[in-house]
Structure 1
Amino acid sequence: MPRRSVPPASPHPGAWWLWSLCLGVAATRTTNPLLLGLLIAVSAYVVATCRRPSPWSRSYTAFVKLALAVLLIRLVFAVALGSPIPGTHVLVTLPELPLPDWAQGIRLGGRVTAESLVFALYDGLKLATLLICVGAANALANPHRLLKSLPGALYELGVAVVVALTFAPHLIADVQRLRAARRLRGRPDSGMRGLLQVGLPVLEGALERSVALAAAMDARGYGRTAEVPPAVHRTTTALTLGGLLGVCAGTYGLLTAEGGTYGVPVLLAGLAAALAGLRLGGRRTPRTRYRPDRWTTRSLLIAGSGAAVAAAMFLAGATDPVALHPGAVPLVAPALPLWPAAAVLLGLVPAFLAPAPAPTSAFEEPSS
């Protein structure tokens, strides 16, 4: 009898989140549409190569649609409300509505220039790229495994987040299943009547799953806490709050040009304090993990590839900021800087390290 090969362990879910968040940070450092499009292409290729057939893996399409909606809304606001960006290339002149004196600075209608539209396009594309990168993390990381990897101090918060993230995919799957069943029976699955007849069973199923989840958590002793000294409790609170404030201040410094000098040390100090607080807070919620996820070399390389992209974009912003931020006034065609584009391609490393395994038979699904 041939020996069955054991598939390699999938990467740590935290590695996927670090990879995608680093791509998102890189997207915040540029408004060059060519680099932003390259970041979107990298994330899309990795998702198409590495995601597994699961309910949460379908969320990437929803994030892409949300990003397109955000970009469209940004352009509509630039057309309807005007833009402070001066421009000489007038595309169209809309009827301008008079506004009262207290609404000074707001304009409805008027001239629409090419410069204002290009500026709005660059700005909206940056936010759209950030949303798509976050969608890649949702499609690649198993939320249940991510919950197992959270420290004990964040377990309650993690359960709430996981339930919120998995409710929508299961709801969509239930709607598709019930609509397919109604079509097979020759019943209408669209319109108000079909929506009412499909919506009630879906909501009932969601309620039953919520009750079953609560019963399972109660049966497993969820919410059990251990006694800790008051001094440890106060130290944990101070370290956690101070660390989170440091992380917020350091992140703000990294995302702004003025705070580039203090951003990195404040962020590192905040992370150290927050991790120490979470470590101490984990004593209050003792729990065990069955087959905990380990940070393997593959997971470290995946997270490191995203960090390399973000670091290269920071370096490019310090050495050649004009290439990362093409001007809208005057209008100039954006150019693709070579070495930042080559650095963005480092984000493709997970596609070669962690491809999704193919099913071994018609009756076996890939492991998650």
Structure 2
Amino acid sequence: MGTAASVGGTRQSPEGAPAPARLPGARASLHPGAWWLWALALGTAATRTTNPLLLALLIAASAYVVATRRPHTPWSRSYSAFLKLAAAVIVIRLAFAVVLGSPIPGTHTVLTLPEVPLPDWAQGIRLGGRVTAEALTFALYDALRLATLLICVGAANALANPSRLLKSLPGALYEMGVAVVVALTFAPNLIADVQRLRAARRLRGRPDKGVRGLLHVGLPVLEGALERSVALAAAMDARGYGRTADVPPAVRRTTSALTLGGLLGVCAGTYGLLTAEGGTYGVPVLLAGLAAALAGLWLGGRRTLRTRYRPDAWDARAWLVTASGVAVAALLTLAASRDPAALNPGVVPLVAPTLPLWPAAAVLIGLLPAFITPAPEAATDTRKEPTT
């Protein structure tokens, strides 16, 4: 017994006590909810300013964290798609400003397009005409803010594992989590089936393209999808999905009222934060809505009977990552109220934007996850030689 033996994946200690073998990818990773809270906080900070320098700094901070902490997984490649979507938003917004005009007055004419006359009932809308630098600058600032928000959401999609995030949902939302898991896995399985069947038809010398190939491939694909659906339903039924605990009717009504009222409060508070007029009531209504929604979810979780296998722990790093994003959002909200001219540079008259120092330093707090979170594991071959 002086040497440790490895049998069936269980490591035997010298004293004979079995120790769990380390699985591939078992390195402690950050809770996926912390990535989403960090990214949404950066997006909230982006809504507080139209300064292109601060927005570019927010994009650079989120991109650096993604570049250093993005795992080597297929779903982490979605960040480039969000970058393309953000670029498309900017181009479309500028195109609308050129073609449809802008209410922003200006004196610096960039070009003049032929104007299409419209009837009287279309007053306020014009096609073509004079395009000014002030209108284009205003459209660019507005589009860049939305693009930054999309890029922050893309960072969350690239950093957070979607299956682990769904596993971390509250017990009251587990039905929705199951539906989302099925929806997320349907498209990859469907594509894999189509590729497999097309390869099999090519090996047999049969056509795999065109309408004929699609008809011959479609039926086996639908049959395979139906078989997987039946197998998934049987597995879920065997594991007890759908069982609920008996709770009093008063608790059910209280749960529904708290959840619905909390979600309405979250929507109203978010709208207040995104508008300049609702800055005074946005934060209190949002916090009250979150508290009510969380209370409703906690009460609703008592109706579900389920356990989690190896639940993700919300540790000190998760708190630090979340706090870094919340600090950026809070400091930029404070800066927008203290110095609105610096965070929202004017376009009439047209002036060059300047970089305010302490709001820029606040944005750099968002880089903290790049230094306190574990680095992603390299994509290596996890096969091991048999041990004796």
8 Å CA contact 2:194, 2:217 repeated in 1: no
1:27 alignment partner in structure 2: 46
Alignment of 1:110-125 (within 5 A): 110-125=129-144
Q: Which amino acid aligns with 2:47?
A: T
Closer, same or farther: CA 134–175 of 1 in aligned 2, 3 Å: farther
TM-score scaled to structure 1, two decimals? 0.87
Q: For the pair shown, which has the larger CA radius of gyration, 1 or 2?
A: 2
Map 1:97-112; keep pairs closer than 5 Å.
97-112=116-131
Instruction: Say what the alpha-carbon RMSD is for the aligned residues.
Output: 3.3
Which residue does the alignment assign to 2:350? 331
Q: Secondary structure at the match of 2:362?
A: helix
| Closer, same or farther: CA 14–96 of 1 in aligned 2, 3 Å | same
Q: Does 1:86 align with 2:105?
A: yes
Give the conservation status (yes or no) of the 8 Å contact 1:75–1:117: yes
SS of the aligned residue for 1:262 comes to helix
Check 1:116–1:360 CA distance in 2 against 1; reply closer, same or farther (3 A cut): closer
8 A contact 1:252–1:259 mirrored in 2: yes
CA shift in 2, pair 1:283/1:304, >3 Å = same
Kindly indicate whether residue 278 of structure 2 is the aligned counterpart of residue 250 of structure 1: no
Q: Residue in 2 aligned with 1:236?
A: 255
Identity %: 73
Superposed CA deviations along residues 266-306 of structure 1, whole A, max 9, x for unmatched, are 22221111111111111222211111111101111111110
Match of 1:306 in 2: 325
Residue deviations 1:238-284 (CA, integer Å, cap 9, x gap) = 11111112222222222223222222222222111111111111122
TM-score (norm 2): 0.83
Residue 164 of structure 1: CA displacement? Answer: 4.2
In structure 1, the gaps of 5 or more residues are none
Partner of 1:40: 59
Distance 1:210 1:227 in 2: 29
In structure 1, the residue matched to 2:242 is: 223
Contact 2:29/2:374 (<8 A) preserved: no
The residue that corresponds to 2:31 in the other structure is 12
2:70–2:376 CA contact under 8 A, matched in 1: no
**Residues 91 and 312 of structure 1: CA distance in aligned 2, closer, same or farther (over 3 Å):** same
Deviation at 1:152, TM superposition (A): 1.2
Structure 1 position 152 matched with structure 2 position 171: yes
1:128-277 → structure 2 map (5 Å cutoff): 128-165=147-184, 170=188, 174=192, 212-277=231-296
Alignment: residue pair count: 361
User: Structure 1 residue 42: deviation in Å?
Assistant: 1.0
Distance 1:163 1:336, change over 3 A: farther
Contact 1:251 / 1:263 at 8 angstroms: preserved in 2?
yes
Structure 2: runs of 5 or more not aligned: 5-10, 12-20
Q: Compared with structure 1, are the counterparts of its residues 302 and 202 closer, same or farther at alpha carbon in structure 2 (3 Å cutoff)?
A: farther
